[in-house]
Amino acid sequence: MTPSEEVLSTACGLAGFPAGGARLLRAHSNSVYLLPSADVVARINGNDHAGLRAQASLALTRWLADNAVPVTEPALDHAVEVAGATVTFWQYHPQPRRERPAARYLGKILRRLHALPAPPFPLPDYAPLIGLTSILASGATATVLSGADRRWLKERAEEAIGEYQGLRTVLGRGMVHGDAYPGNTLWSGDEVLLGDWDEAAIAPRELDLANIVQARRFGAREAGIEEFVHAYGHDPRGHPLFEALVRMRDLHTLTGYIRRAQRGDRIAHTELASRIRSLRDPAVTTRWIST
């Protein structure tokens, strides 16, 4: 039994959900398991998570659902702490055999989210690139990053943070999802829900729009980007802060791959190396792959 499976088994026992037949759906920054006999999804967050604490994400999604924002909702109203990890349980939405929701659905959800008043509880201020800078400062990356790559990433992160802090927001500061991209959307019948609220924060609202444009790295089509900005009701492209946030997103995506590579994931190590090469040399046009 792997460490995450041991955490899952203990957490399920404490929460009253059957762990038998659990199936791993995703293992990146978090581990996500389906509990098929309960129609529940369990999310395991490590202690180094730098966004909104998992417990707070439960309260937030309940409040958002009450305010007509289509979100995934908890199956249990409290988190379970096990061996330094935080486990939350969520309603399961089986996905039909059709394409992932288009970016325009996300644009509509974000438009509704950004129009809401502040929630009745505090959210943390967005800490730019906190995951990447923390892992680079730890000195634990020697097995997956060369000294030159580590220094280069550290310098680029510092430059990006300084640029971000000196630029003005056009859309204003407020509640943001923090990791808004189509991969965090789900079908629920004919409705689309937005999940994974662990990084919700107070930040320039442009932050929630940056992922869609940055997804060009993954082959996102321009038509989809146009549909997204039309659905949201504002085109941020060309604004200095927005363009800085897109560049920051490039760096942000490396964090999970560094962690996975440190755990011995060779696929993640290969993708990490490919992304760094393309960032260091703009002439390299390698398409990024989500693994």
| Domains observed in the chain | 1-92 (3.30.200.20), 95-291 (3.90.1200.10)
For 102, 156, 246, 270, the CA distances from 187, given in Å and listed in that order, are 11, 37, 27, 31
> Is it the case that residue 12 has pLDDT exceeding 90?
yes
Q: In the chain, what percentage of residues exceed pLDDT 90?
A: 81
Location of structure tokens 């929460």: 15
This prediction has a pTM of: 0.91
What one-letter code names the amino acid at 123?
Answer: L
Indicate the angle between helix axes 147-165 and 240-252, nearest 10 degrees: 150
pLDDT, position 45: 85
pLDDT, position 160: 97
> Is it the case that residue 54 has pLDDT exceeding 80?
no
pLDDT band at 52 (very low <50, low <70, confident <90, very high): very low
What is d(CA 260, CA 269) in angstroms, rounded to the nearest whole number?
A: 8
pLDDT band at 51 (very low <50, low <70, confident <90, very high): very low
Nearest to 182 by CA among 249, 228, 233: 228
What one-letter code names the amino acid at 115?
Answer: A
pLDDT band at 224 (very low <50, low <70, confident <90, very high): very high
pLDDT, position 112: 98
pLDDT band at 48 (very low <50, low <70, confident <90, very high): low
Q: What is the 3-state secondary structure (H, E, C) of the chain?
A: CCHHHHHHHHHHHHHCCCCCCCEEEEECCCEEEEECCCCEEEEEECCCCCCCCHHHHHHHHHHHHHCCCCECCECCCCCEEECCEEEEEEECCCCCCCCCCCHHHHHHHHHHHHCCCCCCCCCCECCCCHHHHHHHHCCCCCCCCCHHHHHHHHHHHHHHHHHHHCCCCCCCEEEECCCCCHHHEEEECCEEEECCCCCCEEEECCHHHHHHHHHHHHCCCHHHHHHHHHHHCCCCCCCHHHHHHHHHHHHHCHHHHHHHHHCCCHHHHHHHHHHHHHHHCCCCCCCCCCC
